[in-house]
Amino acid sequence: MRCSVNFRLRMCRRRFEAGLPPPAWLEVQPTPNEPLPPHVHRGEASAIVLAKHLKADPLLIDDQDARACAESEGLRTTGLPGVLCDAAELGLLDIEIVFARLQETSFRAPSSLYDRPV
């Protein structure tokens, strides 16, 4: 993968801050006017409401409390490690290298994630 998702999202944020429209591949959706799930950060709560509205399958979300909330709402979830493992299975990346790099970031995951065989 030449361009990481993080890089693409940073580029989108810069475009947004500069008053430019998002890139064509990014579709911005407003959060439906529905009550947000309690006990979850507003951003994750909005993602859960929007995922239900769009019938997203799966919802990409990493926060454990938010995942539990989404799953209690009937949503199937995955996290960044799941997406990375799927990409590795498709031959798009070397999971050992990516997990090593991920450990150098602020991404929080149990050490057992990095110890298990892929």
CB–CB of 66/60 below 8 Å? Answer: no
Structural domain boundaries in the chain: 1-30, 34-77, 79-118
Q: Name which residue leads in pLDDT, 108 or 92.
A: 92
Tokens linked to 61? 């979300």
For residues 45-71, average pLDDT: 93
Q: Does the pLDDT value for residue 116 go beyond 60?
A: no
Q: Name which residue leads in pLDDT, 36 or 118.
A: 36
Q: Does the pLDDT value for residue 46 go beyond 80?
A: yes
Q: Does the pLDDT value for residue 25 go beyond 60?
A: yes
CA distance 45 to 37: 6
pLDDT single digits (tens) 60-72: 998 999 999 999 9
Supply angle C-alpha 72, 73, 74, rounded to 5.
Answer: 90
Q: Name which residue leads in pLDDT, 23 or 10.
A: 23
Tokens linked to 1? 């993968």
Is the pTM of the predicted complex or chain greater than 0.75?
A: no
Q: Does the pLDDT value for residue 34 go beyond 50?
A: yes
Tokens linked to 74? 């009937």
